[in-house]
């Protein structure tokens, strides 16, 4: 398609390390969602969180990959074309890592209580694919971040900026866990820890 028409096939978006990482993200995301809906299953707030995280990341990756592959970013810019391009994959990377920990923690057991162990095996496969997806998003973060000698277009492109994203994400997990019936106010030591967390986060 003519580039002046607004969109054309961008082969560099497909045949590049970044394109390979995004294809892996799509493959792992599709596999995870398919296995969870087919046999692995999910339930409760933890299962809903994991499924929502996987679906959100998969949908976002489809949009970004489509815009890159069709070279439509000039007509329809998205955050990946700005100085925040590294923040975009860092968020799903954190979500995938969290889901990769939460899902096996609540749904995978070493014993085999299910008929033929099919459900357990599917859940193990979901965990493996989720970990591979997290690695793919991590690879995209590594490919997008600024390197020594390159012109830095924004603070968030640096390693320190990416670390701030991780710090904020971990802080949200900590405060979320504290708010979920932790009873930290019963002891002076835990109150002190919460004050330290809040001070560092602020």
Residue 78 gets the label, from left (phi > 0), alpha (psi -120 to 50) or beta, of beta
pLDDT tens, position by position, 148-176: 555 555 555 566 766 777 777 777 777 76
How many angstroms separate the Cα of 159 from the Cα of each of 65, 169, 195? 24, 15, 27
pLDDT tens, position by position, 31-46: 999 999 988 888 888 8
Helices (H), the chain: 11-14, 17-35, 44-69, 87-107, 118-144, 159-179, 188-201
Q: How far, in Å, CA of 2 to CA of 9, rounded?
A: 9
86 and 163 Cβ atoms separated by less than 8 Å? no
> What are the extents of the domains in the chain?
3-150, 158-202
Lowest-pLDDT range, 43-47, 51-55, 70-74?
70-74
Q: Which pLDDT belongs to residue 78?
A: 47
């Amino acid at each position: 398609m003519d580039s002046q028409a607004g969109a054309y096939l961008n082969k560099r978006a497909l045949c590049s390390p970044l394109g390979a990482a995004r294809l892996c993200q799509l493959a792992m995301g599709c596999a995870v969602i398919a296995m969870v809906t087919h046999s692995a299953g999910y339930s409760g707030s933890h299962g809903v969180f994991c499924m929502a995280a996987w679906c959100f990341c998969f949908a976002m990756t489809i949009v970004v990959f489509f815009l890159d592959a069709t070279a439509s970013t000039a007509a329809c810019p998205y955050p990946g074309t700005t100085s925040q391009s590294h923040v975009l994959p860092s968020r799903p990377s954190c979500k995938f890592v969290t889901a990769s920990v939460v899902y096996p923690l609540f749904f995978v057991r070493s014993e085999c209580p299910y008929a033929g162990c099919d459900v357990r095996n599917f859940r193990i496969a979901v965990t493996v694919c989720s970990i591979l997806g997290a690695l793919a998003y991590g690879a995209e973060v590594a490919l997008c971040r600024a390197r020594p000698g390159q012109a830095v277009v924004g603070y968030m492109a640096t390693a320190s900026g990416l670390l701030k994203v991780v710090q904020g994400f971990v802080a949200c997990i900590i405060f979320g866990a504290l708010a979920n019936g932790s009873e930290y106010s019963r002891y002076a030591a835990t109150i002190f820890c919460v004050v330290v967390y809040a001070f560092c986060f602020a």
